[in-house]
Amino acid sequence: MPQPAFTTARCTLLLTASLGLTSLLSVFPASNCRAEQLQPTSPFLVGYANQVSYAPGEEVELRLSSSCPQVDLVVERVGAKREEVYRHSAIPCSPQPIPDRASSDGCNWTITHRLTVAQDWKSGYYEVSLHGRQPDQAAAAGSLFFIVRAAPSASQSKILLQLSTNTYNAYTNWGGHSLYGYHDRDGIQGHRVSFDRPIHSQFGKWELPFVQWAEANGYNLDYAANSDLEFHPEILENYQLILSVGHDEYWSAPMRDHLEAYIAGGGNVAFFSGNTCCWQVRSEDQGRALTSWKQSYNMDPLYRTGDHALLSTAWSHHLVDRPENSLTGVGFLWGGYQRSHGQFMDGPGAYTVHRPDHWLLEGTRLERGQSFGGNDTIVGYECDGCEMEWRDGLPFPTHRDGTPEGFTILGTCPARWAPGDSLWYDRFPADRIGASVLGTYTRGGTVVTCGSTDWAHGLAGNDPAVVRITRNALDRLSK
């Protein structure tokens, strides 16, 4: 999608300090000042919904902007197969202004179309496909998504998959900035991102392969957004097992509080994900925006208060003192990259087995020292691990990093942060080699972690060990 042009309003901000207000107005007369970004020059069609997730019976408000005067839309549930549930044609549409702070404060567009989530729509990830009508000119196409939660009285599942919607938002730079500087058009890292703008979904890269495998193999899943763990924690009571899949990087304190209480009360969680719960975010605008200052934690207004529990930086930072290990069993601080970011680019992408007799590996026929998952690179991109020591050829957690007592390391694969990544991080040894760790612990409920974003790639490739381990976790923990 074409990026909006550089704005006069941003030029104004850059010149203010050096020219002064009087000189500034002579350069940019008031009549030429703009408070919004320029529209793309090519045909465009973008949009967003007013919520990330909905319950049956709730109304979906679609806010669309297009160079085409009319738009057709189709709504489909995306799972093992695509199921159409709604379509509407010839919806009047027009370009809507892009505010200069759209990425942080939202677009505030008017409503283009309304639809109601029917009672018979299954819980799931729903994609709205958009097609513009443009007589005698090139048309435009686009898409957006929303999630349908299950009605408590109608749910037939014991498994809830909460999708990594906070991560989708954090990586989206539409309308200005993301929470990253390296892929923004002017290299500026934002610290606040809004859901009230077109969001680039990462669902297809990690979660969809898991969903396709699970639904094709008879597993009935219900769905939720990250924010539902914060704003609708009562839904957790309906399930025996909560799933995190893929790249579940951004968590708020209420999300953690509610899930940790669920585990303490006997609920089970499987993290088929990596880089999980790495950054703390704070929800704002009733959940329609996220704030995280990340490496610039000393710029967070909370830094000066002395109360750092909600400081929006890495959960494992000593000022926050709540490493993700205490939830997942592992963390990025002791993991890093495998076959990505220039680290271990010729690495195995596989787990080496250490304790083959554990119930999680039952039926795999794996033996100690054997590896699995390399053909599909199940250990890849971003990985989580724990501090460990070796005794008699076996790894044991030290628990100094917050890893719970009773955590059992079942498999490992080398991982490492990129050189220099740790320089901002107080009290962190630079550039050490860690590991991606597959393991489990029980503390009330049972928690399984795979320590890698790319586990689902092994399901897509039908790796027999990955399939059996996933089955073992789902079958045992959902009962």
Q: What is the mean pLDDT of residues 315-328?
A: 96
- In the predicted model, is pLDDT for residue 467 greater than 60? yes
Q: Which of 180-194, 306-320, 451-465 has the lowest mean pLDDT?
A: 180-194
Q: Which one, of 144, 159, 165, 167, lies nearest residue 226 by Cα? A: 165
CB atoms within 10 A of CB 412: 22
Cβ contact 191:294 at 8 Å: yes
Q: What is the mean pLDDT of residues 441-453?
A: 98
Q: Are strands 433-443 and 445-449 parallel, antiparallel or unpaired?
A: antiparallel
Question: CA–CA separation, 80 vs 84, rounded Å?
Answer: 13
What is the residue type of 394? L
- In the predicted model, is pLDDT for residue 104 greater than 70? yes
Helices 207-216 and 464-477 pack at an angle, to 10 degrees, of: 70
> What pLDDT does 152 receive?
80
Q: What is the mean pLDDT of residues 366-382?
A: 98
Cβ contact 352:412 at 8 Å: yes
Q: What is the mean pLDDT of residues 327-340?
A: 96
> What pLDDT does 41 receive?
83
- In the predicted model, is pLDDT for residue 236 greater than 90? yes
Q: What is this structure's pTM?
A: 0.91
> What pLDDT does 70 receive?
95
- In the predicted model, is pLDDT for residue 5 greater than 70? no
**Residue 430: band (very low, low, confident or very high) from pLDDT cuts 50, 70, 90:** low
List pLDDT tens digits, range 254-282.
999 999 999 999 999 999 999 999 999 99
Q: What is the mean pLDDT of residues 119-140?
A: 91
Q: By three-state DSSP, how is residue 17 classified?
A: helix
What secondary structure does DSSP assign to 91-122, as a single string? EE-----EETTHHHH---PPP-EEEE--TTPP
**Residue 155: band (very low, low, confident or very high) from pLDDT cuts 50, 70, 90:** confident
List pLDDT tens digits, range 166-188.
999 999 999 999 999 876 666 78
Residue 141: exposed, middle, or buried by beta-carbon count in 10 A (0-12, 13-18, 19+)? middle
Structural domains of the chain, ranges and CATH numbers in brackets: 45-148 (2.60.40.1930), 159-478 (3.40.50.880)
Considering the chain, what is the average pLDDT of its residues? 91
> What pLDDT does 138 receive?
75
- In the predicted model, is pLDDT for residue 24 greater than 60? no
Tell me the β-bridge partners of 268. Answer: 241
In sequence order, the 6+-apart residues with CB closer than 8 A to the CB of 282 are 252, 253, 290, 291, 292, 310, 312
- In the predicted model, is pLDDT for residue 20 greater than 70? no
- In the predicted model, is pLDDT for residue 418 greater than 80? yes
More confident residue, 5 or 467: 467
**How far from 194 is each of 241, 259, 459, CA to CA, in Å?**
30, 24, 33
Q: What is the mean pLDDT of residues 194-210?
A: 98
Per-residue tokens: 64: 């669309």
> What pLDDT does 188 receive?
85
Per-residue tokens: 463: 């790796």
> What pLDDT does 184 receive?
63
Question: CA–CA separation, 22 vs 332, rounded Å?
Answer: 50
